[in-house]
Amino acid sequence: MALIISRGEEILIRKTYGMADLQKNVPVTLDHQFAIASNTKQFTCMAIMMLKEQGLLDYDEPIAKFFPDFPDYRHQITIRHLMNHQSGIPDYTEASSWLTEHRETLPADMLEFIKSLGDLNFAPGERFSYCNSGYVMLGSIVSQLTGMPFGTFLEQNILAPAGMTHACAPDSAARRAPHLAEGYNLEEDGSYVKQPYDMALVGYADGNIQATADDMLAWHHYLYGGAQKLVKPETLAEAFAEQCETDMEDCAYGFGLIKSENKGRREIWHGGGTMGFSSRCSRYIDEDLSIIMLTNVLGLPKYELYHKIAAEVFALLDEEE
């Protein structure tokens, strides 16, 4: 694990724990990158917001012009539905054939697979259902409008301006971060099984960023610290707004971010989990507090562990008051 806790500009904890490579006996350092998985979704939405400001898209336009060969539902689903997990499109990661047949694929193949998944699970806008497929499609929209691979657009227009100097966004398994920790799954017998590096791990616009904990802290400072210049304040405000209620208790989804309360403290956060990696990145607005937890193991009781860490921090803050 790499763990950073900061309050304002003050670093409270900046530490690493455990191993980056069990076979080679390499400990985790602050230079190691981790697959942040679905924490990528806030960056995907930032790209969409930037294109919206440029007049290249509208959140509430149907996706038909971007996916003209998709089923008829393309006329009912909007870009906003994709961002808010309200499209009804089946999640490609839940299809059993995804792991067995498509691990060496490319984004274009992922879109073909999503197109083949059949009918919607529900009418667009009817309810919330977390869907990685929608974010793969958002990445394609970014690529179509910019003429750039999605990952390249992120790196040049979001990651670099935000000071995320060690982050990258591979568009295929042919590329990986130079200091990416090895990923492991924690099995029921307590053993750690190393995971292959392929598209099941890399993902696409649903989860392809690989970053250090310092990169994620830089993003928090950029996003929440008043230095945000990628989009106008009123545009950014929509990302933090409660766009729709989720299937998690007392949580609302914005644009790639979740808004909730933790013991009465307002929190904006997202988690991530993929083959061999899990993460939780949280911002407590009123306390100017960031908690960034990146791990190279899938199968930990991630949220239980995170809440124990947060409780310790809250106890210290309460003592100060």
pLDDT(90) > 90: yes
pLDDT in tens, 182-193: 999 999 999 999
pLDDT in tens, 125-166: 999 999 999 999 999 999 999 999 999 999 999 999 999 999
Question: What does the mean pLDDT of the chain come to?
Answer: 94
Looking from the CA of 41 toward its CB, the CA atoms found within 13 Å total: 31
Is 301 exposed, middle or buried, given 0-12, 13-18 or 19+ CB atoms closer than 10 A? exposed
Left, alpha or beta for 298 (phi > 0: left; psi -120 to 50: alpha)?
beta
| pLDDT, position 58 | 98
Classify each residue of 268-295 as buried b or exposed e, where b means 16 or more C-beta atoms within 10 Å of its C-beta.
bbbbbbbbbbbbbbbbbeeeebbbbbbb
| pLDDT, position 31 | 98
More confident residue, 276 or 227: 276
| pLDDT, position 235 | 93
What pTM does this model have? Answer: 0.96
| pLDDT, position 170 | 96
- pLDDT-derived band at 102 (thresholds 50, 70, 90) equals low
pLDDT(84) > 90: yes
pLDDT(105) > 90: no
More confident residue, 247 or 252: 252
pLDDT(319) > 90: no
| pLDDT, position 97 | 81
How far the first Cα of the chain sits from its last, in Å, is: 30
| pLDDT, position 98 | 79
Q: How far apart are CA 286 and CA 288, in angstroms?
A: 6
pLDDT in tens, 298-316: 999 988 999 999 999 999 8
pLDDT(257) > 70: yes
Is 237 exposed, middle or buried, given 0-12, 13-18 or 19+ CB atoms closer than 10 A? exposed
pLDDT(200) > 80: yes
Q: Which residues pair with 294 in a beta bridge?
A: 2, 279
